[in-house]
Structure 1
Amino acid sequence: MRAVVVVLAGLCLPVAGQAQTAEMPNYDVERQCRRIAAIGGNYSEAMYGACFDSEQSSYDNVKLRWSALPESIRRQCDRIARVGGPGSYSMLEACVQSEESAGRQNQQRQFRR
């Protein structure tokens, strides 16, 4: 079921009673890890396994809070995670963590004269 959204004065607001869901991006982990494992010309089973495990861990971590993230972070980090390949949940997680950390730091910043 899709959430119903009302646009009012440029703001997108979910209609009461409708759950707003945001689906996790769907990256081709196998393809990404095969690419990583073949860097340098020789395929590495160890690199493939490490990549796969890292991608699974990152996916699991981000999935828990994906729908609660601001839309701007979801969009930006998805774009970054797709740069140069089929997408990486490890990159997605790193981006989300960086954006959240920067947001907290920026809330405390004060320009002093």
Structure 2
Amino acid sequence: MSWEVIVAIGVSFRDRMRRVALGLGTIGCALAGATAPSSAQEVPRYDPEGWCKRVAESGGGSSEWLKDACLEQEQAAYDKLKPQWGTVPKKTRSWCNQVATSGGRGSYVLLEQCIDMEFASKQKNDNSKFKF
């Protein structure tokens, strides 16, 4: 695992734990290989157990608390994505799936965050014009 990924995990995890404490939590990391969904209307199948195990072991030890918190956040993100997946534009689904699986197995939290950021940026860009 590269130091950039470890740093991203640490920064994202610290932010996530703050949100968990507030009941809002999300973790923004992805490490490992997803399989393609059987239809465009299905959320991609990732390996949250494998991903969260790697997150929990990323500091050189192993933390059951980190693994549990990670799994809770992955489940919450998946549960949010599942009913809305069919309404997400194909281009956004494809791009965000690439982002969420860039490190390997994939993260539903990263997928959710990517989609949220794409929607927010589209709204902003629709109202933005370059000024000379």
Question: RMSD of the TM alignment (CA)?
Answer: 1.3
* Structure 2 counterpart of 1:29: 48
Which residue number corresponds to residue 43 of structure 1?
A: 62
Is it true that 1:72 corresponds to 2:83 in the alignment? no
**Which one has a larger percent helix, Structure 1 or Structure 2?**
2
Offset at 1:40? 1.2
What stretches of structure 1 of length at least 5 have no aligned partner? 1-19
Structure number with greater CO (CA < 8 Å, separation at least 6) is: 2
Q: Structure 1 length as normaliser, TM-score?
A: 0.79
Amino acid at match of 1:34: K
Bigger-Rg structure (1/2): 1
By how many angstroms is 1:85 displaced?
A: 2.5
Identity of aligned residues (%): 37
More strand by share: 1
Could you state the TM-score of these two structures normalised by the residue count of structure 2?
0.68
Q: For residue 79 of structure 2, what is the aligned residue in structure 1? A: 60
- What SS is found at the alignment partner of 1:87? coil
Corresponding position: 1:93 with 2:103: no
* Unpaired stretches in structure 2, ≥5 consecutive residues: 1-38
Deviations 1:69-108 (A, max 9, x none): 1000000000100011210000000000000000000000
What is the number of equivalent residue pairs in this alignment? 94
